């Protein structure tokens, strides 16, 4: 029968397509998604397949290889991390209580917001440091792999509809002013004060393929590595470790563990309830 002559597949076709896709993007554009955590990578890729009106991952690969603007759209999908200002207010409350006193001892501070996406966290940190009286001697490096996403961060512009949630977070995070002092409304949007970006350097940096570029007193990298597989997490943890000063502080997302990082022993936990660690070795 004809069916007997059909070649047998050794592996699930979609798994093969995902491998080829990541490989092709890396070869053509240098962005390395090969060690991204598969389930969420797969979801995002399928979403882009559908938005492009295509039907397969291989079809999307063909498009992004031949059509750089499609690659740009894909990059935006893969770098956008839906965040909120003062997400996990407890994190910022503990930051105020336990990290700010440590930071007061330095004449000048460098903070790295790694994987800043659209800048919600960058603004939150700037506001917090401002209220702590530390902002004027701080430089915040806000980096992301995607230039278009960075442009959005630079604009300091957010939907007005989000302000209620952010205000609640801000208050719960121990904010000492009125949150609305920090922005002006402009139609459906709000624009945050220019001063909040004055000491911020927005720069393109890829955690997977780029090297350490400075030493920092604080690194915030929250809910960025959850998109990476364990092997890549370890690689990036090494990069972050090497980019921290002695006694520098690392902030992670509330459900991220430092346990697999290979650097567990070199950090001390600053608090039991949130993910703030101090490099001690």
Partner 1 sequence: MPRGIVAVGASWGGVQAISTVLRNLPADFPAPIVIAQHRGEETPTRLAETLGRRAAIGVVEATDKDALEPGKAYLAPPGYHLLVERGSLSLSTEEEVRYSRPSIDVLFESVADAYREDAVGVILTGASDDGAAGLARIRRRGGVTVVQEPATAERRTMPDAALARGRAHRVLALDEIAPFLVKVCS
Q: What is the closest distance, in whole angstroms, from the C-beta atom of residue 115 to partner 1 in the complex?
A: 11
- Six-digit token string for 270: 């600053």
Distances (CA, A) of 217 to 38, 99, 262: 32, 10, 21
- Phi, psi (5° rounding) for residue 26? -65, -45
For partner 1, the closer of residues 72 and 229 by Cβ is 229
Q: Which residues contact 168 (CB under 8 A, 6 or more apart)?
A: none
Residue from the set 82, 105, 211, 265 that interacts with partner 1 by CB under 8 A: 82
Give, for 250, the enclosing helix (H) or strand (E): strand 244-251
- Six-digit token string for 88: 């996990």
Q: Name residue, tokens 């059509």.
A: 67
79 is an interface residue for partner 1 by CB under 8 A: no
- Six-digit token string for 19: 């491998």
* Greatest alpha-carbon span in the chain: 80
How many residues make contact with partner 1 (CB under 8 A)? 26
113 is an interface residue for partner 1 by CB under 8 A: no
Q: What is the closest distance, in whole angstroms, from the C-beta atom of residue 39 to partner 1 in the complex?
A: 4
Residue from the set 122, 143, 223, 243 that interacts with partner 1 by CB under 8 A: 223
Q: What is the closest distance, in whole angstroms, from the C-beta atom of residue 247 to partner 1 in the complex?
A: 26
Q: What is the closest distance, in whole angstroms, from the C-beta atom of residue 178 to partner 1 in the complex?
A: 21
In three-state secondary structure terms, 153 is helix
272 is an interface residue for partner 1 by CB under 8 A: no
204 is an interface residue for partner 1 by CB under 8 A: no
Per-residue DSSP letter, 113: E
For partner 1, the closer of residues 50 and 186 by Cβ is 50
8 Å CB contact between 241 and 263: yes
260 is an interface residue for partner 1 by CB under 8 A: yes
For partner 1, the closer of residues 87 and 130 by Cβ is 87
Residue from the set 182, 227, 241, 277 that interacts with partner 1 by CB under 8 A: 227
Secondary structure in 3-state letters for 46-64 = HHHHHHCCCCCHHHHHHHH
230 is an interface residue for partner 1 by CB under 8 A: yes
For partner 1, the closer of residues 34 and 139 by Cβ is 34
In three-state secondary structure terms, 252 is coil
- Residues numbered 32-61 forming contacts with partner 1, rule: CB under 8 A: 37-40, 42-44
Whole-number Å distance between alpha carbons of 90 and 204:
29
256 is an interface residue for partner 1 by CB under 8 A: yes
248 is an interface residue for partner 1 by CB under 8 A: no
Using CB under 8 A, list all residues that contact partner 1: 14, 37-40, 42-44, 81-83, 87-88, 223, 225-227, 229-230, 233, 253-257, 260
């Amino acid at each position: 029968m004809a069916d007997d002559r059909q070649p047998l597949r050794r592996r699930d076709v979609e798994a093969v397509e995902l491998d080829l896709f990541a490989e092709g993007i890396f070869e053509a554009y240098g962005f390395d998604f090969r060690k991204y955590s598969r389930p969420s990578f797969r979801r995002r890729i399928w979403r882009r397949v559908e938005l492009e009106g295509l039907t397969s991952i291989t079809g999307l690969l063909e498009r992004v290889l031949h059509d750089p603007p499609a690659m740009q759209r894909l990059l935006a999908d893969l770098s956008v991390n839906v965040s909120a200002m003062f997400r996990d207010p407890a994190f910022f409350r503990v930051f105020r209580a336990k990290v700010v006193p440590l930071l007061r001892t330095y004449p000048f501070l460098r903070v790295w917001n790694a994987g800043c996406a659209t800048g919600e966290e960058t603004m939150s940190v700037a506001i917090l440091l401002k209220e702590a009286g530390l902002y004027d001697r701080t430089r915040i490096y806000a980096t992301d792999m995607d230039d278009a996403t960075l442009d959005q961060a630079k604009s300091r512009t957010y939907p007005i509809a989000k302000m209620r949630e952010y205000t609640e977070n801000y208050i719960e995070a121990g904010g000492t002013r009125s949150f609305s002092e920090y922005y002006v409304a402009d139609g459906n949007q709000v624009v945050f004060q220019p001063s909040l970006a004055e000491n911020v350097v927005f720069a393109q940096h890829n955690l997977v393929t780029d090297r350490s570029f400075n030493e920092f007193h604080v690194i915030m990298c929250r809910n960025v590595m959850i998109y990476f597989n364990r092997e890549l997490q370890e690689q990036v943890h090494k990069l972050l470790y090497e980019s921290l000063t002695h006694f520098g502080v690392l902030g992670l997302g509330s459900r991220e563990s430092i346990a697999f990082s290979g650097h567990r022993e070199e950090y001390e936990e600053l608090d039991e309830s949130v993910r703030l660690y101090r490099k001690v070795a």
